[in-house]
Structure formats: structure tokens, C-alpha cells
Amino acid sequence: MDAVRPSEQTPQPVTTTDRHSEREVVVTRTFDGPARIIFAAWTTPELLMKWWAPASFGIRFLSCEADVRPGGTYRFVFAHPQSGEPMAFVGRYLEVEPPSRLVWTNEESEEGSVTTVTFEERDGKTHLVLRDLYPSKEALDEAMASGSIGGYPEQFNQLDILLKGAPDVGSARV
């Protein structure tokens, strides 16, 4: 049995999170796969339910509804171990440009962000840029303090696992 030397190991994908301004956070990651497959994982409810909720947060999907078209709505409902009541995340899709761009609102409160995700394919890999623009500095400060923004690296690791383990992801409805 041959041992793998550290220099021969496949490097773990890196998720960067940067507070770009007082109101905006930018998250980036490169995925091993074409943009159409990554886009499908973001827009197909059955697939979203497999990777969107960070496992370490202890939450799990109860339901996922997404009418992914301009003007369409979404509703993600989660169970949380520290709450007897389900948590719902809701909003509207403002822009849908398969497989390169999604823009949606986060309407759980008046302090919700507008999220823009771009998918740029380069040599069979997809560079993803997620931008969350909040209505105020205080709203972004609160989101960062809550830990919700810190969940992106784990979510993206879960998406990587889904992409590697399910070659049929690409056959999902786009």
C-alpha cells in the first residue's frame, strides 16, 4: 500500500469571504464542474435540499419550493433543534439567466439582503461569485455576528460532495 505524500494530495477548494464594503459581502469558490450543473444545483429544489443547510448548524430542510424565474418566489422551511417552530426563508427571483446568473431577494425581515450569484465557466470548472448587498451597515453587521455568512464554506463543501457523488446532477431540470 503506497502512502500519499502531502504534496500529492488534492488541495481542498477554498471559499473566500470578504466584506467588500459597509453593506456588501462577497463570497467566492471554484467548483469542479460545468456551469450548467452548478446552476442546476442552485435552482432545483430536490438538489438544494441536499446541500444548502450547513450540517454543523443543526438545521434540516422540511420543505423547499422554488419557482426559479424572474418574479417567481421561493420558500425554504427548516427545522432547528433549538426552536420548536420551523424557520422560513422567503423571497423573489429578480433575474434568472441560466447558467450564468441568479439574483434574488431575502425577505425574512426588512433588513434582508439582495443576493447575486454568478457562475463563470473556465476550463470545465465553474468560478462562483456570491454577493449579498444589505440595506444598511447595521444589517450586514448583524448577519455577520449571527454566523449565517460563516456557513458558506461548509455549504459549498456539501455542494462539492453532492457534485462528486451524484453524476446524475447534470440531468436535473435546469
Residue 58, pLDDT score: 87
Distances (CA, A) of 60 to 68, 88, 97, 153: 22, 12, 28, 17
| Secondary-structure percent of the chain, ordered helix, strand, coil, rounded to 5 | 30, 35, 35
Q: Decide: 35 and 29 in contact? Cβ < 8 Å.
A: no
Residue 10, pLDDT score: 54
pLDDT, one tens digit per residue, over 103-152 is 999 998 888 999 999 999 999 999 999 999 999 999 999 988 887 788 89
CA–CA separation, 71 and 48 (whole Å): 20
Residue 1, pLDDT score: 41
Q: Enter the C-alpha cell of residue 61.
A: 430542510
Give residues with Cβ within 8 angstroms of 99, minimum separation 6. Answer: 34, 35, 36, 38, 39, 40, 119, 121, 174
| Residue spans of the chain under pLDDT 50 | 1-8, 170-174
| Residue entry with cell 432545483 | 44
Is domain 14-56+93-171 annotated with CATH 3.30.870.10?
no
CB contact burial 20-55 (16+ within 10 A = b; e otherwise):
eeebbbbbbbbbebbbbbbbbbbbbbebbebbbbbe
Element (H, E) at 127: strand 125-133
pLDDT, one tens digit per residue, over 110-120 is 889 999 999 99
The most distant pair of C-alpha atoms in the chain lies apart, rounded to whole Å, by 58
